Amino acid sequence: MKDVEATSDVQTAIETDVVIIGAGPVGLFAVFELGLVDIKAQVIDILDKVGGQCAELYPEKPIYDIPALPVVSGQELTDRLMEQIKPFAPAFHLGERIDALARRDGGGFRLETDAGKVFHAKAVVIAAGGGSFTPKRPPLHGIEGYEGTSVFYAVRRMDDFRDRDVLIVGGGDSALDWTLSLQPIARSLTLLHRRDEFRGAPHSVEKMRSLVAERRMQLIIGQVTALHGADGALEAATVRTKEGEARLPCNRLLPFFGLTMKLGPVADWGLNLDENLIKVDTEKFETSEPGIFAVGDINTYPGKLKLILSGFHEVALMAQAAHRIVHPDKKLLFQYTTSSSSLQKKLGVR
């Protein structure tokens, strides 16, 4: 990573202890853990809202493996994290992407967004999930004209599918999960997959097949070859099976063909990468560049599990190491929130 002389933007730069890149659950919890050790943060995300993939792709989808919460939706988890970090008053810069990152001659880092904002930070935390992600679009003529009105790549509001004729295409967890979630509220629901084998969880496949056996939904083995409708209103899809082609009435289409993940500018920052993931140590979750940390799905190390709770653990250790960079002259006293009056004061519970 190159050093940069940044005297020209000293007057306009936003000064902060840490810049967090990514406002998903792990990035939000990083605000909390850093705040406990007196580190202020500015948070930047390319999306126009906080929550990352949880809020963007499955805000109403239930999550079952967050400690102490038997079930929580992606949006509720985001809302709870936002409530938790209120005492630390982080600043958010949404709809912006970090385009430049360099070391400053006097120490720390200079970051610049595509909106022209400049940040000076003592440390950087990359919590960008898998990088920037976009759903894979099916190769169907004219599909763009239906997107956002009849064709959706994520379920943000389940009511948009209530009393509709829904066609879901795919064979992974997302397709199966939304099949099971939307079937009770849809007027009709069809799951279409190119083969009678599924990549999703076995119990989800079993539940889906039970609904088919009970004639509460339809399973078709085949592919979509064309869409029909006008002015963004889908009316039917042509489906090709081994028996031939037929027109299937539907007014909502959910194609789950996976996501295209791109690191974007992160790939040019001189960090050690392994298949588009950032290598870190497991003591501090620091990258190959001192002072730059990576937490959550974007990092890799032996035994890595891509779970939100794993990211929370990584953030806790990262904050301890960041304290030594941000406050090199202060000794960090390890404390518990249950018994520390100073931590409880920071959280506003004393």
Identify the pLDDT of residue 150: 96
Mean of pLDDT values over 39-65: 86
Least confident of 203-207, 254-258, 325-329: 254-258
Q: Is residue 244 packed enough to be buried (19+ CB in 10 Å), middle (13-18) or exposed (0-12)?
A: exposed
Backbone angles phi, psi at 177, to 5 degrees: -60, -45
Backbone angles phi, psi at 114, to 5 degrees: -70, -10
Identify the pLDDT of residue 246: 96
Identify the pLDDT of residue 115: 87
Q: Could you tell me the pLDDT band of residue 308, with boundaries at 50, 70 and 90? A: very high
Identify the pLDDT of residue 329: 94
Please state the pTM of the whole predicted model: 0.70
- Of 187, 221, 255, which marks where a domain is finished? 255
Give the three-class secondary structure for 271: coil
- Residue 129 sits in the same domain as residue 265: yes
User: Which CATH number characterizes residue 125's domain?
Assistant: 3.50.50.60
6: pLDDT strictly greater than 90: no
Using one digit for the tens of pLDDT, what is the confidence trace for 154-172?
887 899 999 999 999 999 8
Mean of pLDDT values over 210-232: 97
Give the chain's domain count.
2
264: pLDDT strictly greater than 90: no
Q: What is the DSSP string of 8-45?
A: GGTTTSEEEEEEEE--SHHHHHHHHHHHHTT--EEEEE
Most confident of 15-29, 255-269, 270-284: 15-29
Provide the domain limits for residue 90: 3-133+259-346
Give the three-class secondary structure for 298: helix
Give the three-class secondary structure for 141: coil
Q: Could you tell me the pLDDT band of residue 9, with boundaries at 50, 70 and 90? A: low
Using one digit for the tens of pLDDT, what is the confidence trace for 99-156?
899 999 989 999 999 889 999 999 999 998 765 556 788 999 999 999 999 999 888 7
- Residue 98 sits in the same domain as residue 16: yes
- Of 255, 281, 308, which marks where a domain is finished? 255
Q: Could you tell me the pLDDT band of residue 19, with boundaries at 50, 70 and 90? A: very high
- Residue 249 sits in the same domain as residue 300: no
Nearest to 24 by CA among 55, 48, 69: 55
Distances (CA, A) of 267 to 123, 250, 261, 280, 337: 18, 41, 12, 15, 37
Least confident of 128-132, 201-205, 212-216, 313-317: 128-132
- Residue 244 sits in the same domain as residue 271: no
Identify the pLDDT of residue 1: 67
Residue 4, token pair as written in the block:
């940069």
Rounded to whole angstroms, the Cα distance separating 176 from 158 reads: 15
Residue 159, token pair as written in the block:
């009511």
Rounded to whole angstroms, the Cα distance separating 182 from 166 reads: 8
- Residue 41 sits in the same domain as residue 77: yes
Using one digit for the tens of pLDDT, what is the confidence trace for 75-86?
999 999 999 999
Per-residue exposure over 59-71, b if at least 16 CB sit within 10 Å of its own CB, e if not: bbbebeebeeeee
Percentage, residues of the chain above pLDDT 70 = 93
Identify the pLDDT of residue 53: 79
Rounded to whole angstroms, the Cα distance separating 125 from 319 reads: 10
- Residue 61 sits in the same domain as residue 116: yes
- Residue 153 sits in the same domain as residue 249: yes
Residue 224 has a CB neighbour count (10 Å cut-off) of 22
- Residue 185 sits in the same domain as residue 279: no
Q: Could you tell me the pLDDT band of residue 262, with boundaries at 50, 70 and 90? A: low
Percentage, residues of the chain above pLDDT 90 = 71
Encoded amino acid at 346, one letter? K
Average pLDDT, the chain: 91
- Residue 65 sits in the same domain as residue 183: no
- Residue 281 sits in the same domain as residue 241: no
49: pLDDT strictly greater than 80: yes
- Of 234, 255, 276, which marks where a domain is finished? 255
Identify the pLDDT of residue 267: 72
Identify the pLDDT of residue 165: 98
- Residue 224 sits in the same domain as residue 271: no
